[in-house]
Amino acid sequence: MQIQEALSDLFWNPAARDSLPKLVMSLGIAAILGWILGQAYERFGHSLSNRAIFARNFLLLTVTTTLIISIVKSSLALSLGLVGALSIVRFRAAIKEPEELAFLFIAISVGLGLGAGQALVTTVALGVILGFVALRSRFSRGPDTPNLYLTVATNGSGRLGPGQILEALGTVGATASLKRLDETPEQVEAAFIVDFQGVGKLEQFTKRLRELSPSVRVSCLDERGLGQ
C-alpha gyration radius of the chain? 24
Nearest to 85 by CA among 106, 64, 109, 110: 64
* Higher per-residue confidence, 96 vs 68: 68
On the CB side of 127, CA atoms within 13 Å amount to 6
User: How do residues 20-36 score in pLDDT, each as one tens digit?
Assistant: 788 889 999 999 999 99
Rounded distance between C-alpha atoms, residue 120 and residue 33, angstroms? 12
* Higher per-residue confidence, 76 vs 169: 169
Question: Which residues does residue 219 pair with via DSSP β-bridges, in sequence order?
Answer: 151
Q: E-assigned strands of the chain?
A: 148-155, 175-183, 187-195, 217-222
How far apart are the two ends of the chain, measured CA to CA in Å?
A: 79
Domains and CATH numbers, the chain: 2-140 (no CATH), 148-222 (3.30.70.2690)
Answer for the pair 176, 193: CB distance below 8 angstroms, yes or no. Answer: yes
- pTM for this entry: 0.61
Q: What's the gap between Cα 60 and its chain centre?
A: 13
pLDDT at position 149 is 79
